[in-house]
Structure 1
Amino acid sequence: MPIQVANPSPAPQGHHHQRRRGAFGGPMTMNHHHTSSKKSDKPACGDSTLNLKNVFLRAMRHKLFKSKKSRPKTPVDLVSHTTSLLSYLNSASYYPTTGHKHTGKIAELDVLMRELKIILYGNGESEPTAEACAQLTQQFFKDNTLRLLIICLPQLNLEARKDATQVVANLQRQPVNSRLIACDYLESNLDLMDLLICGYEDPAMALHYGGMLRECIRHQTVARYVLKSVHMKKFFDYIQLPSFDVAADAIATFKELMTRHKSTVSDFLTDNYDWFFVEFNSKLLQSPNYITRRQATKLLGDILLDRSNVAVMVRYVSSKDNLRILMNLLRESSKSIQLDAFHVFKLFVANQHKPSDITNILVANRSKLLRLLASFKIDKEDESFEADKAQVAREISELVATGSIGNSAELANLSC
């Protein structure tokens, strides 16, 4: 009789659990209700980035709108904002301050100095307008911005310093209602010249302050103040500073002081002849530096040959010590120094009222001087120079010693 195998009973419907074989044959129970995952409260990475981007854009829009709204536009606004920032730098509570706020204001001044310069000088696209320049100039001096700028200049970046120097230079020549109001301002603030002159003692600031100073002494009142100031003697030291650029700038300013305003210079030299030429001869004409000697010799000729300084010239060429210095300069290997020295030396010879010691020195050294003049040639043909040289040689040849010429050996020490 065949064996019957009963079919297994089907699993009950609707049962919450299913029994499955695990990997090792054991039963594994799964609860369908608990395996349904909940939606995470944490936003997806893309959503987070989008939110941050929106926040950033809103902040930037607010910043740009605010900046656009507060950005100065007119020349008056630019100057006022510049003055405000310079006042911040000059404030004792902030100086010397660092940090983002301070750096930001320095950066703003970089931009403002450039914008002020563009108004005054124009750029490649537009020329300066008289109205804008006048508005800027008037506000600049009204707000006392020049004083703040000079005081705070060391705190500015290099490019801003350069722009500021050009701005100050331009303002000295800007008319407002047909008047140079810069001159009026400086007459009431002459102490600023003391700051500018002493700027030569700071190598980092010397060229900027020197450039400003030269423009300011275009005004005769300012030049007179500087000439009479205690700082005038300092130029003889500044001209000998080891930095070539600073020394060259100092002598450029010195030359401007000694040649621009004729009547003022004449009065100064008359009142200060003794100490001035002692310093000039010893520190400049006899300087070990070739450039200094060359520039000083040229400047001496410019001073003495100016008609306003006739009395000073006569006094200078009546000194045997001065003659000795000029005769030595005639021996220089540099043709430039020789030529400039010759133009001063000929004044000693041409003087119709030579003191006897001047005449005797020229007579004692006649042969040497005539040989030197005969061999003295310049690179370019110059009929005027040749005529002057011939006249000087003729004058020396015709000189007659007055009285006893003294000890020839002593005179030889004064010779070339």
Structure 2
Amino acid sequence: MKGLFKSKPRTPAELVRQTRDLLIYIDLNGNTRDAKREDKQYHGLWQMAELSKLIRELKSILYGNNEAEPVPEACAQLTQEFFRENTLRLLITCLPKLNLEARKDATQVVANLQRQQVHSRLIASDYLEANRDILDTLIMGYENMDLALHYGAMLRECIRHQCIARYVLESEYMRKFFDFIELPNFDIASDASATFKELLTRHKSTVAEFLSKNYDWFCADFNEKLLSSATTSSQKTSYQAFGRDVTRSIKFCGYDAIC
């Protein structure tokens, strides 16, 4: 008899649409985590709990679980619906309002979606190229201690797309990575360094193009802000190793060294 009243499982597309609806609600209604349970006009706590559950379900579809591997068809449906409208933008915008576990799940969802293909296309790349300001938000996330590691992880996955890496390299924010790498918080500085290295080693032809136009200021900043400011021998050794990695990556650009 129990089976007669069991609710019908929601499809991946339905899960995304419900997630989007809740994100819109939360975005419009401020900090829902501070809502009072007794406020009949403001059901923020319920919405937040339901949103966290939905994001966890999205992650389960994309990554699988202990009982099953991801189903390609379900992943494709989820991905297509996710980028059909502004769900990615909403999720990133609302990230500060989520609890820690929901932030972790959201970060993993965004990261995985960068690798999902629909009809042999990485539609995440197309979406991000048309909405480049999202990258600005992720980059500047390094200035927020509570969100830096989440935004940093998302950003590294986004720059897997060559067009996105090119945008970041050519953006006004590129120079700020030298500041992020020197932030006093070790975890955030290390994360920024990992992103910086990914930017300068993954897409060799794009990096070569960037350095052909920006070699002088880049090397000056690298020497002045990183090597010269290193306070320990291990830190200086790390920066020198980083420079060698970048040099190997772009050696066909015609430069003998990065600094």
The 5-angstrom pairing of residues 8-23 of structure 1 reads: none
Alignment of 1:129 with 2:71, yes or no, is yes
Of 63, 67, 75, which residue of structure 1 is paired with 2:12? 75
Which residue in the other structure is 2:31 paired with?
A: 96
Which residue in the other structure is 2:179 paired with?
A: 237
Identity percentage over the alignment? 59
The 5-angstrom pairing of residues 341-360 of structure 1 reads: none
Higher RCO, Cα 8 Å, sep 6+? 2
Does the 8 Å CA contact 1:174/1:180 hold for their aligned counterparts?
A: yes
Of 161, 166, 169, which residue of structure 1 is paired with 2:111? 169
Of 175, 192, 212, which residue of structure 2 is paired with 1:270? 212
Q: Distance in 1 between matches of 2:74 and 2:31?
A: 34
Q: Distance in 2 between matches of 1:308 and 1:189?
A: 32
Q: Shift of residue 308 of structure 1? A: 4.1
Mark the CA change 1:289 to 1:161 in structure 2 (over 3 Å): closer, same or farther. Answer: farther
Of 202, 225, 237, which residue of structure 2 is paired with 1:283? 225
CA shift digits 1:361-381 (9 cap, x unpaired): xxxxxxxxxxxxxxxxxxxxx
Name the amino acid aligned to 1:258.
L
CA shift digits 1:223-249 (9 cap, x unpaired): 000001111111000000011100000
Q: Distance in 2 between matches of 1:79 and 1:199?
A: 25
Q: Shift of residue 258 of structure 1? A: 0.4
Which residue in the other structure is 2:40 paired with?
A: none
Q: Shift of residue 103 of structure 1? A: 1.2
Name the amino acid aligned to 1:306.
S
CA shift digits 1:93-134 (9 cap, x unpaired): x11342331111111111111111110001111111000000
Name the amino acid aligned to 2:23.
L
CA shift digits 1:190-246 (9 cap, x unpaired): 110000000000000000000000000000100000001111111000000011100
Name the amino acid aligned to 1:157.
N
Q: Distance in 2 between matches of 1:130 and 1:137?
A: 10
The 5-angstrom pairing of residues 124-203 of structure 1 reads: 124-203=66-145
CA shift digits 1:160-187 (9 cap, x unpaired): 1001111111100001111111111111
Name the amino acid aligned to 2:160.
R
Which residue in the other structure is 1:304 paired with?
A: 247
Q: Distance in 2 between matches of 1:112 and 1:247?
A: 32
Which residue in the other structure is 2:236 paired with?
A: 293
Q: Distance in 2 between matches of 1:307 and 1:160?
A: 39
Q: Shift of residue 310 of structure 1? A: 4.3
Q: Shift of residue 72 of structure 1? A: 6.2
Does the 8 Å CA contact 1:270/1:312 hold for their aligned counterparts?
A: no
Q: Shift of residue 251 of structure 1? A: 0.2
Q: Distance in 1 between matches of 2:104 and 2:150?
A: 7
Q: Secondary structure at the match of 2:157?
A: helix
Q: Distance in 1 between matches of 2:252 and 2:226?
A: 20
TM, length-normalised to structure 2: 0.91
Alignment of 1:86 with 2:23, yes or no, is yes
Q: Which runs of 5+ in 2 are unaligned?
A: 38-42
Q: Distance in 2 between matches of 1:142 and 1:310?
A: 39
Q: Distance in 1 between matches of 2:227 and 2:96?
A: 34
Which residue in the other structure is 1:40 paired with?
A: none
Q: Distance in 1 between matches of 2:85 and 2:26?
A: 16
Alignment of 1:222 with 2:164, yes or no, is yes
Q: Distance in 2 between matches of 1:86 and 1:123?
A: 25
Name the amino acid aligned to 1:259.
T
Q: Shift of residue 288 of structure 1? A: 3.0
Alignment of 1:114 with 2:56, yes or no, is yes
Which residue in the other structure is 1:345 paired with?
A: none
Q: Distance in 2 between matches of 1:292 and 1:198?
A: 24
Q: Shift of residue 282 of structure 1? A: 1.3
Q: Which runs of 5+ in 1 are unaligned?
A: 1-64, 317-321, 323-416
The 5-angstrom pairing of residues 308-327 of structure 1 reads: 308-313=251-256
Q: Shift of residue 144 of structure 1? A: 1.4
How large is the RMSD of aligned CA atoms in angstroms? 1.7
Q: Distance in 2 between matches of 1:310 and 1:267?
A: 8
